[in-house]
Amino acid sequence: MAIRKGTDAERAGTHAVLASRRRVQLLDALRASPTPMAIAELAVLCQLHVTTVRFHLDALTSAGLVSAEPERHPARGRPRRLYRALPPLEPGHADSGYERLARVLAAHWASSEDDPVDRAEAAGRAWALDDLTDTPGSPRSIEDAASTLTTLFAEMGFDPELESTPEEIRIRLHACPFESVARQSPNVVCALHLGLMRGVLTRLDAPETDNRLIPWETPQTCVAHLTRR
């Protein structure tokens, strides 16, 4: 899938639109479909009312995440309006000097004699502890900590979605601004982000959790899991 370049304002708009679980559900359904889909088809697939689907599709279309087009050869009556997912926005140039440098550094680190996963996670922890969060005045609940993590991931361009169950909290990451480097050196890049997440939890003095980051848990998303102890 091709990647479109986007401005900071466009990225911020995308984050706001994807704060809705139902919009993410519809976008995932469109991304998984090999052909454009009609509102009625999406309503049945996602178990939503047609009016609800139409409302959310309008928001996704305005954000540039979905395109709409009339049906070319309707079987009968008026042509339906068909929707397809557009490629995600990319925060920078696909072949920028920064990205080339990141690839070189990640590849070099991955070939180190030391354990690259441990080193990358330690670097992520140091990043969080040194630069990214203020020292809290009191311990944070796991819900508050997850909200802070979600905000951080949004600022970094991951298009996160917060999900919660009685057993665990998940942060689903619908985009990765470092995807090309992560695909090449996942043991470095993904471990770095895991360390970042764990460093933020430590800095916030959050309750202990069994936490992990699963790269590409689905073909489109990575998922951070925070399981309550």
Q: What is the mean pLDDT of each run of 10 residues along the chain (229 residues)?
A: 45 56 85 92 91 88 86 79 78 47 59 72 80 59 87 82 89 84 81 90 89 88 90
Whole-structure pTM over 0.85, yes or no?
Answer: no
Spatial separation of the C-alpha atoms in residues 159 and 153, rounded to whole Å: 7
CA-derived radius of gyration, the chain: 20
Return the pLDDT at 188: 83
3-state DSSP: the chain helix, strand, coil percent, rounded to 5? 50, 15, 35
Return the pLDDT at 23: 82
Nearest Cα to 146, choosing from 166, 127, 171, 174? Answer: 171
Return the pLDDT at 100: 54
Residue 113 makes CB contacts below 8 A (sequence gap 6+) with none
Collapse the DSSP code of 29 into the 3-class scheme (helix H, G, I; strand E, B; otherwise coil) and give the result. helix
Return the pLDDT at 111: 59
Return the pLDDT at 36: 93
Return the pLDDT at 167: 87
Return the pLDDT at 37: 93
Sign, CA dihedral 135-138-144-145, equals positive
